[in-house]
């Protein structure tokens, strides 16, 4: 019912946990020091990645893989469980409900995104700026989705940017272009005021790589993002990818 979500080409196909057992494998790997990415093979749902940030004061999960096998949940337990669970917006939720049920963390979602959270209970509705842990700040950008928020890791100079940015990768997995969207599948652009909000948020954050719900892109900096936003503000709204070499 939402124009930002593409309908399945062959109709809906609802699965139970039992249906997935033995057919979907959850894999995990270190994306950067202290950050583990969880994803599914074969691709399931939106094909998203859930990020687990290992912290001395308690691990933080941001975004969710589409499904967590018992082995994956046991691995998270071995790594210290989850103290806080959060996400940028519904396209990053994945199987957050599994993590909420297994680890009973504090669940933080921006207050404007509460209406999308029927599958799990939010225990801390967040305001526009919310500190998850020392050096980890969740900031509302709105735009792509109601309640959309990014997570800035000041220590690692990393930005978990949700769907504020779409990163085009080359065949080796390196970033080559950036774009942003109100609706990706139907190529609906953001309004200028929404881009101005993005720009105001990003201008205050120092980062040299980004993690979306779908990829980890090293070398994407604040200068690249601001260059993208400035180009979009200088003309008609667009979803066209812009090469990195012309943005920084």
| pLDDT per residue as tens digits for the range 140-162 | 999 999 999 999 999 999 999 99
In-domain check, residue 12: no
In-domain check, residue 124: yes
Mention every residue, 6+ apart, whose C-beta is less than 8 A from residue 196.
Answer: 229, 233
| pLDDT per residue as tens digits for the range 25-68 | 999 999 999 999 999 999 888 899 999 999 999 999 999 999 99
Range of the domain at 211: 17-246
In-domain check, residue 9: no
Q: Please give the pLDDT value at position 118.
A: 95
φ/ψ of residue 18, rounded to 5: -65, -40
In-domain check, residue 62: yes
CATH code, domain with 38: 3.60.15.10
Q: Which residues of 4-24 are buried (b: 16+ CB within 10 A; e: fewer)?
A: beeeeeeeeeeeeeeebeeeb
For the chain, what percent of residues have pLDDT higher than 70? 100
**Residue 94 to residue 90: CA distance in whole angstroms:** 8
Domain count, the chain: 1
Task: Look at strands 136-140 and 129-133 and give their pairing.
Answer: antiparallel
Confidence class for position 1, pLDDT limits 50, 70, 90: confident
């Amino acid at each position: 019912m939402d124009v930002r979500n593409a309908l399945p080409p062959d109709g809906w196909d609802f699965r139970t946990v039992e249906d997935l057992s033995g057919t979907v494998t959850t894999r995990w790997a270190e994306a950067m020091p202290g950050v583990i990415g969880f994803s599914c093979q074969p691709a399931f749902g939106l094909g998203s990645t859930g990020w687990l940030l290992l912290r001395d004061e308690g691990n933080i999960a941001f975004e969710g893989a589409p499904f967590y096998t018992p082995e994956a949940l046991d691995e998270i337990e071995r790594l210290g469980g989850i103290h806080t669970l959060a996400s940028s917006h519904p396209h990053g939720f994945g199987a957050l409900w599994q993590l909420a049920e297994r680890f009973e963390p504090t669940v933080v979602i921006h207050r404007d995104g509460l209406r999308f959270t029927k599958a799990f209970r939010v225990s801390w509705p967040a305001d526009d700026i919310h500190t998850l842990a020392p050096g980890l700040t969740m900031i509302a950008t709105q735009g792509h989705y109601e309640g959309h928020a990014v997570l800035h890791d000041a220590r690692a100079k990393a930005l978990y940017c949700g769907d504020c940015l779409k990163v085009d990768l080359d065949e080796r997995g390196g970033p080559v272009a950036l774009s942003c969207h109100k609706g990706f599948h139907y190529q609906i652009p953001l309004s200028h005021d929404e881009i101005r909000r993005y720009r105001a948020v990003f201008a205050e954050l120092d980062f040299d790589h980004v993690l979306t719900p779908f990829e980890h892109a090293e070398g994407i900096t604040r200068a690249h993002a601001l260059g993208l936003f400035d180009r979009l503000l200088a003309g008609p709204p667009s979803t066209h990818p812009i090469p990195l070499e012309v943005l920084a």
